[in-house]
Amino acid sequence: MTTPASALPATAFKVLTAQQWTDFERERVFRGAPVDIADGYIHLSTAGQLEATIAKYFAGHTDLMIAEVDLVQLGDAVRWEPARGGDLFPHIYAELPIHAVVSLQKRS
């Protein structure tokens, strides 16, 4: 069973290290963290998935930046695909332009 597009959130979150964010700001585009590059897409999480993502993949990090990404701006580059537990996660099959970031939070 697929989720109707109207039920999917319009924004999602990318967890970045402070250095990744600094590079993103300088280059104006994010090409992906090592795991993203290895998998062939940029991993994002919904608001409801964010804390589990941080706990699983970023435990012990104190320099995190949480970028909220406007998925509508990215159009067809975004695909919703099943991952842990069958939950649908947003994946970006393109570079992420900085203009698609609509908010940023520092997490220490």
CATH number of the domain enclosing 25: 3.20.170.20
What is the 3-state composition of the chain as percent helix, strand, coil, each rounded to the nearest 5?
40, 35, 25
In-domain check, residue 38:
yes
The answer to whether residue 25 sits within a structural domain is: yes
Residue 10 maps to a domain: no
Is 79 a member of any domain?
yes
Note whether residue 8 is domain-resident: no
- 73 inside domain: yes
pLDDT in tens, 12-68: 999 999 999 999 999 999 999 999 999 999 999 999 999 999 999 999 998 999 999
Token couple for 59: 């435990």
Question: Do 44 and 90 form a contact (C-beta atoms < 8 A)?
Answer: yes
pTM as predicted: 0.92
pLDDT band at 83 (very low <50, low <70, confident <90, very high): confident
In a domain, 4, yes or no: no
Instruction: Give the domain extent around 37.
Output: 17-107
Q: Is residue 34 part of a domain?
A: yes
Total tally of structural domains belonging to the chain: 1
